[in-house]
Structure formats: structure tokens, C-alpha cells
Amino acid sequence: MCRHLGWLGEPVSVASVVFDPPSGLLVQSYAPRRQKHGTVNADGWGVGFFDEGPRRWRSDKPLWGDASFASVAPTLRSGCIVAAVRSATVGMPIESSASAPFTDGSWLLSHNGVVDRAVLPVTRDAESTVDSAVLAAHIFDRGLGSLGETIAEIGARDPGARLNILAGDGSRLLATTWGDTLFALDRADGVVLASEPYDDDPAWLDIPDRHLVEVAATGLKLTPLKGSR
């Protein structure tokens, strides 16, 4: 299970959410604290953010080995960031195009989990054969406005699936919990969604399983998904 993180708010540097926190994504790549599936996230990483449109920097290597990216991350600033570190599911390809975030040109989308690709009807080219890329292509086809319905349907078709999604389009974040953890931190300057807290602030909200999370300028909204227990 990978770890992902999203930011929506005032422009902040990528480094301030990925590298600087005591248990930020960098530390989560080798010492995650809440990970239930897998031990390290060393099979790649991706950082996406918006300026006029989506920008991405992805790799098939461990985040901790990329001193070049760490050196530029303090200068990359955005009000909407979607980042992930990857622990590949057995049998899945290890290539930079298999690292989240995936994009359709409008959204940046990450998937924590696993899904049987056979239950996904693909109607457009996925960026990789990895299950997460095929799932992303399906979600893009259906439209992010139906994210909650899409996830509940796939969950019904593949009862073993874990379907934690995190997506951003520059002005909002959408996320689902379906089989793994997600936490939210409401800061004065914006909102963080993350697979696990990046520090020990008691304000981190533990999002219940099988929920849709919507973050916009107006705040954070939780909706139970069909099939929630």
C-alpha cells in the first residue's frame, strides 16, 4: 500500500509538505507508521502540483535517493499538490509511468490499494498496465463528479479491492477511503489529506472507512459511500 498526500490552500512549497515534516512522505517512504500492507514505499514516487495546469515529477526509484529533487522542492510552490510514494503490488510493473499521480490533463490522481483489472472496463489508454493507472483511466472516463459512485461500484464488483483515491484539480481535492487509512489536517492556511499524519498534532482527523472526502475553499465535507458499514 502506498502513501499519498494532498494539499489545498495558500501556496506552499513542495518541500514543506513532502520533505520537512517529521513524518512527511519522505520518512513515510522508509518508515511509515500506519501502513497495513507492505513495509516500505521504495518502488517509485510522484509529486504533482498545479500552476496554470497540472505538472508532474515521477520516478521508479526510492524518494530518499533523489537529492536533485530534494534540492529543487523548496522552490516549487503551489496551492494544490498531490504526491505519493509507491510500494508496488506483486506482479505490477516498476516504471515511472506506474507511479502516481496519474493525469487526464485536468486532474492529478493517486491510488492506494489494489484492484483486479478484470473488473475495470477500459475505454481509454491507461498510462501504465499497473492496476492503479487502469483504475485512474476508468475514473477519468466516468468523471470525477461520480467518484463516490464509481468506487462503490468497483468495490462491489471486486470485494477484495482496496480503493483509497486522492485527486486534485487545482481548486479542490477529492478522496475516498475504502480499505485503508486517510487523515485530514485543517490548518489556518489550508487542508492536508494524507494516508497517515505527518506529525503528532492531535488535530489530525481520522477519516472513517468507505467515505468520500471533498475539500474546497469552503472547507471539508465527508459523505458515506454506498456499501459503507
Catalytic residue numbers, as ranges: 2
* Helix (H/G/I), strand (E/B), else coil: 74: helix
Q: Is 58 in the site for ligand GLN (CB under 6 A)?
A: no
Q: Is 167 in the site for ligand GLN (CB under 6 A)?
A: no
- Is the C-alpha dihedral spanning 92, 183, 36, 27 positive or negative? positive
Q: Is 112 in the site for ligand GLN (CB under 6 A)?
A: yes
Among 17, 88, 108, 215, binds ligand GLN (CB under 6 A): 88
Within 10 A of 31 (CB to CB), how many other CB atoms are there?
12
CB of 196 to ligand GLN, least distance (A): 13
Q: What is the dihedral of CA 22, 36, 101, 55, to 10 degrees?
A: 0
Set of cell numbers at residue 73: 522542492
Cα–Cα distance for residue pair 40/31, rounded to 1 Å: 7
Among 86, 138, 210, 211, binds ligand GLN (CB under 6 A): 86
Task: Look up cell 504533482; give the residue.
Answer: 48
Nearer to ligand GLN, 81 or 165 (CB): 165
Q: Candidates 12-20, 72-80, 88-96, 139-147 — which segment interacts with ligand GLN by CB under 6 A? A: 88-96
Q: Is 1 in the site for ligand GLN (CB under 6 A)?
A: yes
Site string for ligand GLN, 125-164 (x = CB under 6 A): -----xxx--------------------------------
Cα–Cα distance for residue pair 152/173, rounded to 1 Å: 19
Among 14, 92, 137, 194, binds ligand GLN (CB under 6 A): 92
Q: Candidates 22-30, 56-64, 105-113, 165-173 — which segment interacts with ligand GLN by CB under 6 A? A: 105-113
- CA distances to 12, 25, 73, 111, 138 from 194, rounded to whole Å, are 16, 9, 18, 12, 23
Cα–Cα distance for residue pair 148/151, rounded to 1 Å: 5
Contact positions vs ligand GLN (CB under 6 A): 1-2, 38, 86-89, 92, 98, 111-114, 130-132
